[in-house]
Amino acid sequence: MRTDDIRSMYLEFFRKLRHEVVPSSPLVPSKHDPTLLFTNAGMNQFKDTFLGKEKRSYTRACSSQKCLRVSGKHNDLEQVGLTPRHHTFFEMLGNFSFGDYFKKDAIAWAWELVTSKDWFAINPDWLYATVLKDDSLGLVDDEAGKFWLEAGMPEDRIHYFDRKDNFWQMGDTGPCGPCSEIHIDRRAQLGGRLTKPLGSACDKCQFGNKMYRKCQKLKEHDLCERYSELWNLVFPQYNMEFNNPLEDLEKPGVDTGAGLERFAAVLQGVVSNYETDLFVPIIEKTEEIVGLPAGEDRFSTSFRVVADHVRALTFTIADGVAFSNEGRGYVLRRILRRALRHGRQHLQYQEPFLHLLVPAVVDIMGSTYPEIVEKAEYIQKLVKAEEEAFSATLDRGLVIFEEVLKKTKRAGLRVFPGDEAFRLYATYGFPMDMTQVMAKEAGMTVVEKTYNALMEEHRERSRALTKFEVEESLLSKLNLPPTEFVGYAT
C-alpha cells in the first residue's frame, strides 16, 4: 500500500464516521500560541477548541498534520538516524472529538481501522495496548482497559504503565490527559527480517521475551526494534498551567496521533520507516550523489539523517522560516548543519549537496502539500546558500577537531578538552553542540565546565567592549569640535 493511499484511507475511515477532514496547519504555530516553537502534534491547531475557548462548526475532526519535533517537550533531533523510526519532520494522522465521543468509540474505531480486513488488516496477534496506572496521580484508567477487551484485545496483551509513559501533554501548559497506545510486535510480523532481533540488540531489556515491555526508550533499550508504538489515543480531560494542579476540562475529548511513516513501514512490510516509499527516492538520490551504498551499516545512520533533515528543511522553509541565529531560524540552521556534517564526515562528500535532494522530497510529497511545489526553487536556493556559507567553517572545524582528538587520545585522556571546544567555537565559529556530538561519536564527553567558564569570560569581555563602543558613540553624538593638537607648538 502506498503511503498516499494509507493517508487517504485513514481520513476516509473517519470521514465516513462524520469527522470533518481538516487540512494540516503550518509548522509555525499561530501567533496566539507563544508556548510552541513548532507544531508538534495534530492537536495543536485544536488547542483552544479542547479548552472550550473556540467554537467550531463541528465536534469531530481528522487530519494529517505536519509536525516537527526538534525543541521543547518533544524533541527527537538527537535520536534521528540512530533508530529506524524517529524523525524530526513527520506527518501525524489523527482523529479528534471536542466533547463528542470519548474512550469507548475512540478505542473501538482504532481497533477496527487497524485490524479490519476492509481497512489496514494488521494481524491482531501482533498488537498490544498500553493503559495508564499512576499512583502519584491516583489514576487507573480501568475504563480504557475494559474498552480494549471489548474491542477484541486479549487481556494478557493489555499492559499498564505510569504517567511517564501513559499521560500526554503537548508542553508545560495546555490540554492533557491519560493516553492509551497500540504497539506492534515487529518481530512477530517480520520474523528473521528484523536486522537486530531482540536479545542481541536489546540485552538491557530485563523482561526478556516473555513479558511485553515498552522498548522504545533509547536510553534503556538502545536500538531495539522489536516493539513499535503505532498509535497514541489521548483522552484530554485536564488543562495544565505550568505546575498548578490539573483543572478539569468542561468537556473531555479525544486526541489521537499515529505517525504516518510508522504505519507505512508496517503496511509495506519493511523494518524501517526509511525503507518506505516516503524515503527510498531521497536515499537513492543521495547514493547517486555521494557514490556510497546506504545499505552498509557504517553509512546507514548518515543516510537516514540526511533524508530526514532534508524533508524537515523543505517543509519548514516552505512554511516561512529562514536561517538565522535565533529562535526557529537557529533550529533550522542546526538541522542543516547536522546533515551537512554527516555528509562531509561520514559520507565523505565534500560539496554542498542537500539542496540537490529537495526535488526528490517535492516529487514524493508535492501532490499532498502544494506549498513545497510552489516554493521549491526558493527552498533550494536558501539551502544551497546556507550550505555554502557553513562549508568553510565546517571544513576547518573538522580538521581541527580531528587534530585535538588525536592529541587527546595520544595523551591517554578520555575527555575532550573544554578549552579546545571553546577555541573551536570562538576562533573558528564551530558550534559547541556539534563538538559535543562528534566527541560522543568518538566515545568522549566535552569538559563543559572549562568551556562554560571560558565562554563566560568571553561574554564579559564582549560586554565591556560593547559598553566602551557605546560610550565612544555617545561622545561622537555630542558634536564636539575636533581637538586641535598643540603638542609640538612650543
**Per-residue x/- track, 13-42, ligand SER (CB under 6 A):** ----------------------------xx
- In the bound complex, which residue of the shown chain has the CB atom lying closest to ligand SER? 257
Least distance in Å: CB of 377 to ligand SER? Answer: 33
Smaller CB separation from ligand SER, 257 or 397: 257
Should residue 43 be labelled a site residue for ligand SER when binding is judged by CB under 6 A? yes
Distance CA 123, CA 186 (A): 11
Among 145, 257, 397, 431, binds ligand SER (CB under 6 A): 257
Whose CA is closest to 166, among 205, 126, 137?
A: 137
Whose CA is closest to 230, among 273, 169, 174, 170?
A: 273
Strands 227-234, 158-161: pairing is unpaired
Give the bridge partners for 68, in sequence order.
Answer: 89
Place of cell 479542547: 50
CB-count exposure of residue 391 (10 Å: 0-12, 13-18, 19+)? middle
Should residue 129 be labelled a site residue for ligand SER when binding is judged by CB under 6 A? no
**Per-residue x/- track, 468-487, ligand SER (CB under 6 A):** --------------------
Should residue 302 be labelled a site residue for ligand SER when binding is judged by CB under 6 A? no
Smaller CB separation from ligand SER, 64 or 232: 232
Count of C-beta atoms within a 10 Å radius of residue 139: 17
Should residue 256 be labelled a site residue for ligand SER when binding is judged by CB under 6 A? yes
Should residue 234 be labelled a site residue for ligand SER when binding is judged by CB under 6 A? yes
Taking CB under 6 A as the binding criterion, the range among 20-28, 201-209, 254-262, 341-349 that sits at the site for ligand SER is 254-262
Q: Dmax over Cα atoms in the chain, in whole Å?
A: 107
With CB under 6 A, what is the number of residues at the site for ligand SER? 10
Least distance in Å: CB of 211 to ligand SER? Answer: 24
Among 29, 81, 84, 94, binds ligand SER (CB under 6 A): 94
Smaller CB separation from ligand SER, 43 or 129: 43
The values of phi and psi at residue 272, to 5°, are: -120, 150
Among 10, 38, 109, 168, binds ligand SER (CB under 6 A): 168
DSSP string, 181-230: EEEEEHHHHHGGG-SS-TTTTTTT-TTTTTS------TTTSTT--SEEEE
Place of cell 544551497: 384
Q: Which residues bind ligand SER (CB under 6 A)?
A: 41-43, 94, 168, 232, 234, 255-257
